[in-house]
């Protein structure tokens, strides 16, 4: 609903953080982690531009609510334990 110019502040201000936007819906390809092959180097965690990888005992856990499926983690993983799979085909 459009607010009149008199009702709005000088510049848009939001009280909610941008994390309310669940960007996981954008995903076409999804990263799948083979935890057994993981060497716990944490490179995927450092490279994820959306902070969508959490580490559990040094092993990546992808937060699929936010992961946009860019594939940087899979490209950077030296032990090739992350592979990109078409969404819905895993």
Partner 1 sequence: MRKVMTGNYASAYGAKLARAEVIAAYPITPQTSIVEKLAEFVATGELKAKFIPVESEHSAMAACIAAQTAGARTYTATSSHGLTLMHEVLMWASGARLPIVMTNVSRAMAPPWSVWVDHMDSIAQRDTGWLQFFCQSNQEVLDTIIMAYKICESTGVMLPAMIIEDAFILSHTSEPVDVPEQQLVDSFLPSYSPDLKIEVGKARGFGSLVKPDQYMEFRYKAMLAMKEAHDRILRVEQEFKHVFGREHGGLLERYRCEDAETVLVTAGSVAATAKDVVDALRANGQRVGLARIRAFRPFPHDEIRSLANKLEGIAVLDRSYTFGAAGAMFTEVKASAYSCQKRPVMKNYIAGLGGRDITPKILSRIFEDIQVIAKRGAEDEVEWVDVAGLPRRWR
The residues of the shown chain that bind partner 1, judged by CB under 8 A, are: 1-5, 8-18
Cβ nearer to partner 1, comparing 8 with 75: 8
**Contact at 8 Å (CB) between 87 and 28?**
yes
CA proximity to 23, closest of 71, 66, 56: 66
CA proximity to 80, closest of 56, 44, 51: 44
Q: How far apart are CA 49 and CA 81, in angstroms?
A: 19
Least spacing, CB of residue 16 vs partner 1, in Å:
8
Cβ nearer to partner 1, comparing 17 with 49: 17
The helix or strand, by DSSP H or E, that contains position 73, with its residue range, turns out to be helix 72-76
Least spacing, CB of residue 81 vs partner 1, in Å:
36
Least spacing, CB of residue 13 vs partner 1, in Å:
5
Cβ nearer to partner 1, comparing 10 with 56: 10
């Amino acid at each position: 609903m459009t607010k009149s110019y008199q009702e709005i502040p000088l510049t848009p201000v939001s009280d909610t953080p941008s994390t309310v936007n669940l960007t996981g819906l954008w995903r076409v390809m999804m990263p799948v982690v083979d935890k057994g092959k993981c060497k716990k180097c944490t490179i995927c965690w450092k490279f994820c531009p959306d902070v969508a990888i959490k580490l559990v005992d040094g092993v990546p856990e992808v937060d699929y609510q936010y992961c946009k499926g860019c594939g940087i983690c899979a490209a950077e993983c030296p032990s090739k334990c992350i592979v990109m799979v078409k969404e819905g085909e895993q």
